[in-house]
Amino acid sequence: MSEQQTDDELRCIGCGAVIQSDDPSRPGYTPQSAVKKGLATNELYCQRCFRLRHYNEIAPVSLADDDFLKLLSQIGQTKALIVYVVDVFDFNGSLIPGLHRFVGKNPILLVGNKEDLLPRSLRRSKLRDWIRQQANMAGLRPVETMLVSAKKNRQIDLLLEKIEKYRQGRDVYVVGVTNVGKSTLINQIIKQRTGVQDLITTSRFPGTTLDKIEIPLTDGHLLIDTPGIIHAHQMAHVLSPQALKLVAPQKEIKPRTYQLNPEQTLFLGGIARFDYLKGQRIGIVAYFDNNLLIHRTKLANADNFYQKHVGELLTPPTKDELTNFPALEQEEFHVHEKSDIVFEGLGWIAVPAGVTVAAWVPKGVGALVRRAMI
Ligand code: GDP
């Protein structure tokens, strides 16, 4: 692109992002009709800033890794409290690689969101310990780990108290991968601080086009919402938005238990597959959206069965979505302690020690083993 064209680029007068009408999840998105109106009235705001100004509501916005790392290193150079939001249902998909290196000496308050999705029978103190331990394995030493539900407005008061406790006169940066519920959380915080709502501003990180949203705190410091980072392995990249809605749980997960013999297969809709390869007869527990079809077959017949029924009996994906749906790839796991086999973004299956299993996921989506959560 030439200099001249760059100068001609339209920018949002709220956050400075370059106006574009192609991708609602990227900075600067503005529907074409709104661009026309904005130009006519000389008040061209991107959709995110427009919503913020008129409805006091923020919309999610995301960035690819490089820009996000730039942003993180800027945060590392300032004194701040980092509020790191993860999705407890997709914990591994929520991890920001290298976060611990980028935040510098700044303290991290780790917030596990969407706790409403996990079975109520799971003790919350146990869940917190598990999250803390997993965070430690990723190199993070949070000052505290909390569980909240942004959607159900659970523990948000407590979160605000903890933020006050740990920020000690510093600014607060809220960071997270896309889809962990960061926008929902920020909107709850905005609601709780209605007295100052008209003071909320958007602004730009100097030298970049990254927008951030600033919520004033009591002492002139700011709570700053940053764009979400897009994870390359997210299920969102292989499933259509409709299919994604079908597999993303909205309600408390009801664990489903199966007694399996070796050489049996479970299909998870047509999206993924679990093979029990070697071991005794075992009980496994599946944690997926309650409406996701789990279908059992014999391992020997599984390939044929999939070819024949994907898009019909085994959905999602639907028949129409099959053309763009990647082939399933297999990864084998030998499990030595009680573990979760994780199908990233979809859910997990808890298996006992001493078994060999395989997880099949669409090419580009991650499968992994971790210490059992429950
Ligand atoms: P962001 O990309 O991190 O800003 O995520 P959003 O705030 O847009 O939320 C992503 C999805 O997660 C939306 O469908 C939300 O309704 C949902 N969500 C957010 N918070 C919660 C929560 O506490 N519980 C549940 N069950 N869903 C949530």
Average pLDDT of the segment spanning 4-33: 79
* More confidently predicted of 83 and 103: 83
Query: 152 near 116, Cβ under 8 Å?
Result: yes
Whole-angstrom distance, CA of residue 51 vs CA of residue 168: 31
Average pLDDT of the segment spanning 168-187: 89
pLDDT at 237: 74
CA distances, 365 to each of 245, 279, 318 (Å): 17, 27, 18
55: which residues sit within 8 A by CB, 6+ positions away?
Answer: none
* More confidently predicted of 2 and 157: 157
DSSP state of 18: B
Helix/strand/coil for 68: helix
pLDDT at 342: 97
pLDDT at 338: 97
Q: Ligand 1: which residues within 6 Å by Cβ?
A: 60, 113-114, 116-117, 149-151, 176, 178-184, 228
Average pLDDT of the segment spanning 271-294: 97
In the chain the beta strands, taken as DSSP E runs, fall at: 62-63, 80-87, 108-113, 144-147, 171-175, 201-204, 211-216, 222-225, 228-229, 256-260, 264-268, 272-278, 282-288, 294-298, 328-335, 339-343, 347-351, 355-362, 367-371
Ligand 1 atom nearest residue 148's Cα: 23
| Peptide bond between residue 119 and the one before it cis (omega within 30 degrees of 0) | no
pLDDT at 58: 66
**Over pLDDT 70: what percentage of the chain?**
89
Highest mean pLDDT among 99-113, 234-248, 298-312: 298-312
Query: 85 near 175, Cβ under 8 Å?
Result: yes
* More confidently predicted of 94 and 15: 94
Ligand 1 atom nearest residue 248's Cα: 14
pLDDT at 229: 76
Query: 362 near 244, Cβ under 8 Å?
Result: no
Ligand 1 center to 157 CA (angstroms): 18
Q: How confident is the model at residue 2 (pLDDT cuts 50, 70, 90)?
A: very low
Ligand 1 center to 116 CA (angstroms): 11
Ligand 1 center to 373 CA (angstroms): 21
Ligand 1 center to 24 CA (angstroms): 16
Between β-strands 80-87 and 256-260, what pairing exists: parallel, antiparallel or unpaired? Answer: unpaired
Whether 71 shows a pLDDT value over 90: the answer reads no
Q: How confident is the model at residue 211 (pLDDT cuts 50, 70, 90)?
A: low
pLDDT at 200: 57
Ligand 1 center to 178 CA (angstroms): 9
Going by alpha carbons, the residue nearest to atom 6 of ligand 1 is 181
Query: 263 near 276, Cβ under 8 Å?
Result: yes
Whether 99 shows a pLDDT value over 80: the answer reads yes
pLDDT at 1: 36
108: which residues sit within 8 A by CB, 6+ positions away?
Answer: 82, 83, 84, 99, 140, 141, 142, 143
Q: Domains of the chain by range and CATH?
A: 5-55 (no CATH), 62-229 (3.40.50.300), 237-371 (no CATH)
Q: How confident is the model at residue 48 (pLDDT cuts 50, 70, 90)?
A: confident
Query: 179 near 236, Cβ under 8 Å?
Result: yes
Q: How confident is the model at residue 6 (pLDDT cuts 50, 70, 90)?
A: very low
pLDDT at 8: 67
Tens-place pLDDT, residues 289-327: 999 999 999 999 999 999 999 999 999 999 988 988 999
Average pLDDT of the segment spanning 65-77: 76
pLDDT at 207: 45
Ligand 1 center to 88 CA (angstroms): 11
Tens-place pLDDT, residues 343-353: 998 999 999 99
pLDDT at 126: 96
Q: Which of 53-67, 110-124, 293-307 has the lowest mean pLDDT?
A: 53-67
pLDDT at 238: 81
224: which residues sit within 8 A by CB, 6+ positions away?
Answer: 171, 172, 173, 174, 212, 213, 214, 215
Average pLDDT of the segment spanning 216-227: 82
Going by alpha carbons, the residue nearest to atom 15 of ligand 1 is 181
pLDDT at 264: 98
pLDDT at 341: 98
What is the overall mean pLDDT for the chain? Answer: 87
Q: Which of 156-160, 175-179, 250-254 has the lowest mean pLDDT?
A: 175-179
Q: How confident is the model at residue 189 (pLDDT cuts 50, 70, 90)?
A: confident
CA distances, 356 to each of 76, 272, 280, 349 (Å): 42, 17, 10, 13
DSSP state of 3: H
Q: How confident is the model at residue 242 (pLDDT cuts 50, 70, 90)?
A: confident
Whole-angstrom distance, CA of residue 13 vs CA of residue 48: 12
What are the tokens at 276? Answer: 């029990």
Q: Which residue from 84, 151, 159, 191 has its CB within 8 A of the most atoms of ligand 1, so it is best to mutate?
A: 151
